[in-house]
Structure 1
Amino acid sequence: MAPPPEWELETDLGRRPVRVHVGGCSMRGTGPRRPPLTRDAALRALGVDRVEACIHFPIESSCCSLFCCARRDAC
């Protein structure tokens, strides 16, 4: 079995972005509504497109770190 992608996008039934998840997140679900994302696409989703980060990760999580990087360009 292939490892999970580094980042995934959760979409609603209309395929609109809902949340960005770290690959392997237990809350991310599976299927066509969970396409993989590159790091750059995850940064864009969180920073430019204002998609929410997964709410099931603590502040120091990868999602939060990526979100902060997108906001401050401080990576």
Structure 2
Amino acid sequence: MSAPPRHIPVSTSLHGTRWRRSSRSTGMNNCVETARTDTGPWQGLVAVRDSKNMTGPALLFTPDAWKEFLTGLS
């Protein structure tokens, strides 16, 4: 089994993905957005992108890795 991809160069290639922004983000696009992917080789991964650059790259994490990251923030 191959490892899941770690990033994609253009986040808009995740067609139909519903991006969510932090509730703590102001209206100035100074936050990150996350999405659960459900298509292609990215299926089941968590995508993270910069809200200031919505057509830019996205980092991809397994759900467990993303949960571990969030747990480490608290």
Q: Same fold (TM over 0.5)?
A: no
Tell me the TM-score normalised to structure 1 length. 0.27
Tell me the TM-score normalised to structure 2 length. 0.28
Give 1 or 2 for the bigger CA radius of gyration: 2
Relative to its length, the structure with more strand (as a share) is 2
